[in-house]
Amino acid sequence: MLSLSRDSARRWLIIWSALMLLCAIFFPIGTWTIDDAVKEIAAINGQGAFGSPVADGPLRAQLSNPSNFSALEEPFAVRENGGVRPGFSPFARFFFQLEDWMSKRMMLIRSAMIAIGLGWLLWYAGFAWGFVLLPLTFYGLAPWEHLPAWLFSLPALYLVFVRDFEKRLYWLLVGAGLGLATAFRIEHGILIAVCLLALLFRKQMGRALLLFVSSAAILGLAILIAGLSEFTLQSQLNRPAGSLGGVDNYLISRLLAIYDLFFACGPAVAVSLAHGGLLFIGLYLLKRGDDIKQISAAAVALALYLAGSFYYIWAHPVPPLGLLTQGSFVTALPWVVLLLLPGETRVAIRRYVLLSLCLGLLMVPLSSGEHWGPRLLLFAVPLMLIALYQSGRAHGRAFAAVLIVTAVQSLSAGALVWARYVETSEHIARTEQRVGSPVICTTRAQCADFAPLWKNSEFFTASTPSELRSLLVQFYEQDLDSAWLHLDAFDSLYVITFPDSKPVWPHKMTIINAGSWYKTMWRLYQLAMNRSAVEWAPLLEEQAARYMADGEHTRALHLQARALELAPDRAEAESNLGLILARLKRYGEAREAVERALLLDPTLAQAQELSKQIEIAEAGSSK
């Protein structure tokens, strides 16, 4: 059986610390998630102190279409003229600016040192195995803003639940720590609610007031520094797009986002209220419980509460995302229950609460769960540690099972992070040698994967033949002669779009193998524009029609005139040219174009009607 002594934990902590540092020094430099890549792009390429927004390039909006990538989609991100503002908190983006200043290697080492420091802090505070229970191994390998958030929140939790300080200064520091943690990661605001609930439950109103005022002041200062609109963007990720039912009021949208983050459990407010009611009924009965009937009723209420929590997480179309709205607050509260209950009752339900945590860990899919899974641990485990060590129950088979499950998850995380880092680092290194600007990808996520290349290249998305044709026409308009198309090795987008290689043909095609565990292969085309090919004419006219519909008549005129140069003597094309000129109020030139169209085809109805409209417009303008 696993030895759970303090000395045994110390030996493993030494080994773990050494492994963390070695990993930080020798891991390949890559990107773990698409979200991290977007934060890096926003921090390094963005404008302003916090690196937002990301400005469009001179050709076209970067990361334009298609959609279905939440980190750059409304309501999480805001599209504005000339750029896009990603919805990550400004301090998260600022955190990634350090990467640019310090190098990625130093960021990894710094993150590992924070994780090691937190592990030893837990050990000295009496939570000997805390470094295993907290998923620090995973987060230590990914330089996220969760680590500095933990630096502030964990000591605050320790002061609230472990030490009984009388001085007001300590409670002001607790609030300040939680406020700073929330500035880094808005989800840490949940811990403010948890601590306030604990203090109010103990009737320590003065301490609760100091904690609330201090945390609100620090968080308010952070919002003042960053700006309210910047700071609150991230809250939008915590509600499903379209959940407002057409209501786009600024205040209402934020209030609903907060509701979703803290209280939402299921599709309706009534369901959420019933679910929360089960929790507080169970708490009340356990607090007053002095006979077996009350304790049994409380156990039933809390069991239904936990079952509902896991059901609503798993019923989400993407279960790990369900943890953002249901998992955090709902999963943290059972550990508050353990802290607040009398010792005998706490012992009675200990096994069931430990079982719920193990089920939660095992329920999150490992492949994607190593990104989202720690959100289950993020708020539950610190409180669980305190409860177990306070009650002297951090021993035995149940606790050993939690240690083993979490250790397996951390080891799996290390392997996945390594594989992902190799994937992105080698892919970028091998692509960088061949690619130019602009680069076309099939998805936004694929574009974001190239975060380190954004300084030298412009990225665009096209996932369908029509999007690719439209994009290449715009490059043609800007007198570009070539573009790079980055596709999955089995993607036939180019072949479908230009089966006869006219008017765009592949100057060359390169297969790029990332070489990691995934063995991902990519196909990189360098597309050359055959600018004199007559096949451009219908494509240019199609884009000119789009510009005209959008009111961009000057751009439409340029493309329509170029289409006529490539394929002259076409009555409909001359008529379309006349229409654009008329929209620009260049009536003399418009009339000449219509006359040419009627010479080519006297029966062309649209030209006949346009001729009459031009006469009326000229007569009106001469008055």
| pLDDT, tens only, 325-337 | 444 455 555 555 6
**Mean pLDDT of all residues in 556-582:** 89
- Domain holding 520: CATH number? 3.30.110
Residue 502 domain-assigned (yes or no): yes
Q: Round to whole Å and give the CA distance between 455 and 43.
A: 12
Summarised one tens digit per residue, pLDDT across range 136-146 is 566 666 667 87
Task: State how far the alpha carbon of 285 is from the alpha carbons of 279, 297, 345, in Å.
Answer: 10, 7, 11
Q: Which of 496, 512, 529 is the last residue of a domain?
A: 529
Instruction: Give the C-alpha separation, 93 to 44, whole Å.
Output: 9
Mean residue pLDDT of the chain comes to 78
Do 520 and 542 lie in one domain? The reply is: no
Q: Span 482-498, mean pLDDT?
A: 89
Q: Flag whether pLDDT at 61 surpasses 60.
A: no
Is residue 580 in a domain?
yes
**Is residue 153 in some structural domain?**
no
Query: Do both 520 and 608 map to the same domain?
Result: no
521 and 432 in a common domain: yes
Tell me the C-alpha distance between 481 and 530, whole Å: 8
Residue 143 is predicted with a pLDDT of: 66
Residue 605 and residue 491 share a domain:
no
Q: Assess if residue 389 is contained within a domain.
A: yes
Structural domains in the chain (count):
3
Residue 241 lies in a domain: no
> pLDDT-derived band of residue 479, with 50, 70 and 90 as boundaries?
confident
Q: Are 516 and 562 found together in one domain?
A: no
Range in 18-32, 359-373, 457-471 with the lowest mean pLDDT: 359-373
Q: Can you give the pLDDT at residue 608?
A: 87
Encode pLDDT of 395-437 as tens digits.
777 677 777 777 776 777 777 778 778 888 888 888 888 888 8
Which residues pair with residue 46 across a beta bridge?
Answer: 54
Same domain, 432 and 477: yes
Looking at the structure, tell me whether residues 363 and 465 fall in a common domain. Answer: no
In the predicted structure, residue 442 carries a pLDDT above the cut 70: yes
Same domain, 522 and 540: no
Percentage of the residues of the chain whose pLDDT score is greater than 70? 74
- End residue of a domain, out of 394, 410, 445: 394
| CATH code at position 598 | 1.25.40.10
- Amino acid at site 7: D
Same domain (yes/no): 572, 516: no
53: in domain? no
Whether residues 433 and 498 share a domain: the answer is: yes
Domain assignment present for residue 115? The answer is no
pLDDT of residue 242: 39
Say whether both 505 and 437 belong to one domain. yes
pLDDT for 619 equals: 74
Q: How confident is the model at residue 217 (pLDDT cuts 50, 70, 90)?
A: very high
**Last residue within a domain, chosen from 508, 529, 550:** 529
DSSP per position, 84-149 = EE--S-HHHHHHHHHHHHH-HHHHHHHHHHHHHHHHHHHHHTT-TTHHHHS-HHHHHTTT-THHHH
Same domain assignment for residues 516 and 545: no
Tell me if the bond preceding 503 is cis, omega within 30° of 0.
yes
Does residue 260 lie in a domain region? Answer: no
Range(s) of the domain holding residue 434: 425-529
